[in-house]
Structure 1
Amino acid sequence: MKKLLTLVFALLPSLVFAAGGSSVPLDHPNNDIRDKASLQNGAKLFMNYCFGCHATQYQRYERVATDLDIPLELMKENLMFDPELNIGELMTNPMKAEDGAKWFGTAPPDLTLVARVRGTDWLYTYLRTFYADPSRPFGVNNIVFPNVGMPHVLEELQGVPQPVWGKTTVGGEEVDAVVGVKTDGTGELSSSEYDAAMRDLVNFLQYAGDPVQVEREQLGIWVLLFLVIFTAVAFLLYKEYWRDIH
């Protein structure tokens, strides 16, 4: 019971993080958590752009390296920024919750389970719909999470995203709203490359929320196969047992 309560309280920041606008049409990233190259790139993106504020405290470095086929030495050299850390430790970061709340208005949530809480479509759309908004503290806003308190940490990859205005229906009335974004071309990646990178990042977060999903699905196939064979054998045994009984 104590562990369950701990997990519930750990999820609360993620629920706050996920409280953005749900009425916005969401894009589907077409994830494949069997794609190790995608997961490896997603892990690299997460550690380099997200881990400074967001932890995945229910994961361990060694488990991630093993699952994603990353050599342990390579993991230590490139994805573990504290040389004092042990490869078997949990993926926490040193930011204090009170500091995060002071800087961002609320403590940045742990992201281990965010894909399960909010969904991969929401995450994929969220990461691609930041836009420049000088009225906001960090100069950006977000289509699916209006008045977001997070800076656009991936701007160097995407470039400066400018809002695209259009008509949308709210409460049965047509109003002007930001319906899309268009970058200024200053990012390191093209639009298609950025979309692919965000797919990889979301893919990694989906894996983080359920690391045994692939193994569970594979085991499920064997269980179903066993049940089919067992049922056939049991039926034949049943017929043999009752063959001479009228």
Structure 2
Amino acid sequence: MIKKILGALLMVASLGGGSAVAAGGGHPWDVAPVPVTDKAALQNGAKLFVNYCMNCHSASLLRYNNLTQIGLTENQIVENLLFTGQKVGDKMSIAMKPHDAKLWFGAAPPDLSLMARAKAENLGQPGTDYIYTYLRTFYRDKSRDLGWNNLVFPNAGMPNPLWERQGPVEVTFTDVHEVEKDGAKQWHETITKVDADGYKSVVSDKVLADFKGHASSHAQIEYLDKEKQAQFDKDMADLTAFMGWMAEPQQEFRKTLGVWVLLFLSIFFVVIWQLNKSYWKHVK
């Protein structure tokens, strides 16, 4: 029994570390590098969220004054994060109505209050890894009406609101597949590149002789402005940390309380065990 429990714990631990492929076999998720306890990062993330995300997305399960928990004063919230006449005790909602959003965009942009929890894999990577990777894998795509696409969420129904911060990128798709030609099957490797302006072109398409593998596909995104990339990665890590905190503001307290509860139960178990021995010691 102990071996089975240890084996299960090791499996869970292995799922949680490093980069893993999302459920269903999609683009691998990068690990979000900033913890939800970094208040400076959370404050920067809150600023980015209000300025870039809340044009379309609400966070209606949170009130502005909840941001005092990440080290902001109410005056700082009013001066830096409230621009539409809302009060500091109001919910973080937006003026756009869901009915209008559905009419204009085809579907209402989701509320982001719990997105970090909603995107978490079962016993796998946390949803913050999904958000961090999603925000950093937008690329221009002239074949789409919106002009944008995403590696984590292909054909996502939103443009890239942070494109100026991200800078130009190129994406290379490598696809290994089997084709039938003249009655015989061949394995091909096709490499397609999407340039910074969103135009696709096939770079190479070659036959893989004596290939013994299986069909596969992967994509690689390259930032062309390395200086912008460093700052963009940091900002997206901060924004991701804020969304992770927003999904459960009391998560660190919950974890701390859980440790104390387990410690109490351990001590209580010892006391009860000794009491049990004392109670039954005269019973043969």
- TM-score range for the pair, normalised by the shorter chain length: 0.7 to 0.9
Under a length normalisation based on structure 1, what TM-score does the superposition of the two structures give?
A: 0.81
Distance in 1 (alpha carbons) for counterparts of 2:233 and 2:35: 15
**Secondary structure, counterpart of 1:164 in structure 2:** strand
Residue 10 (structure 1) aligns with: none
Distance in 1 (alpha carbons) for counterparts of 2:64 and 2:41: 17
Distance in 2 (alpha carbons) for counterparts of 1:136 and 1:103: 17
Q: CA deviation at 1:144?
A: 1.6
Tell me which amino acid in the other structure corresponds to 2:245. Y
1:179-238: CA deviations, max 9, x gaps?
2333343x9x62122112111111111111112111111111110111011111112222
Q: CA deviation at 1:127?
A: 0.6
User: Does 1:239 pair with 2:247?
Assistant: no
- Which of 259, 266, 270 pairs up with 1:221? 259
Same amino acid, percent of matched pairs? 43
**Secondary structure, counterpart of 1:190 in structure 2:** helix
- Which of 229, 232, 249 pairs up with 1:191? 229
- Which of 53, 56, 73 pairs up with 1:50? 53
Residue 146 (structure 1) aligns with: 154
Q: CA deviation at 1:35?
A: 1.3
Q: CA deviation at 1:77?
A: 0.9
Under a length normalisation based on structure 2, what TM-score does the superposition of the two structures give?
A: 0.71
- Could you say which structure has the greater relative contact order, defined with CA pairs below 8 angstroms and 6 or more residues apart? 1
Distance in 2 (alpha carbons) for counterparts of 1:170 and 1:212: 48
Larger strand share, 1 or 2: 2
Correspondence 1:94-133 to 2 at 5 A: 94-118=95-119, 119-133=127-141
Residue 74 (structure 2) aligns with: 72
Distance in 1 (alpha carbons) for counterparts of 2:83 and 2:157: 26
Residue 167 (structure 1) aligns with: 174
Residue 5 (structure 2) aligns with: none
Distance in 2 (alpha carbons) for counterparts of 1:143 and 1:95: 28
Report if aligned partners of 2:114, 2:247 keep a CA contact under 8 Å in 1.
yes
Report if aligned partners of 2:138, 2:151 keep a CA contact under 8 Å in 1.
yes
Distance in 1 (alpha carbons) for counterparts of 2:139 and 2:24: 15
Report if aligned partners of 2:167, 2:229 keep a CA contact under 8 Å in 1.
no
Residue 5 (structure 1) aligns with: none
Structure 1 runs not aligned, ≥5 long: 1-19
Tell me which amino acid in the other structure corresponds to 1:78. N
RMSD over aligned CA atoms reads 2.5
Select the structure of larger CA radius of gyration.
Answer: 2
Tell me which amino acid in the other structure corresponds to 1:28. V
Distance in 1 (alpha carbons) for counterparts of 2:229 and 2:94: 30
Report the CA distance shift for 1:224/1:213 in structure 2 as closer, same or farther (over 3 A).
same
Structure 2 runs not aligned, ≥5 long: 1-22, 120-126, 179-186, 194-218
Tell me which amino acid in the other structure corresponds to 2:71. D
Distance in 2 (alpha carbons) for counterparts of 1:228 and 1:52: 50
Residue 7 (structure 2) aligns with: none
Report if aligned partners of 2:166, 2:232 keep a CA contact under 8 Å in 1.
yes
Distance in 2 (alpha carbons) for counterparts of 1:177 and 1:42: 35
Report the CA distance shift for 1:44/1:21 in structure 2 as closer, same or farther (over 3 A).
farther
Q: CA deviation at 1:57?
A: 0.7
User: Does 1:86 pair with 2:93?
Assistant: no
Distance in 1 (alpha carbons) for counterparts of 2:242 and 2:155: 26
Report if aligned partners of 2:101, 2:108 keep a CA contact under 8 Å in 1.
yes
Distance in 2 (alpha carbons) for counterparts of 1:80 and 1:227: 46
Report the CA distance shift for 1:173/1:146 in structure 2 as closer, same or farther (over 3 A).
farther
Aligned residues: 223
Q: CA deviation at 1:169?
A: 4.2
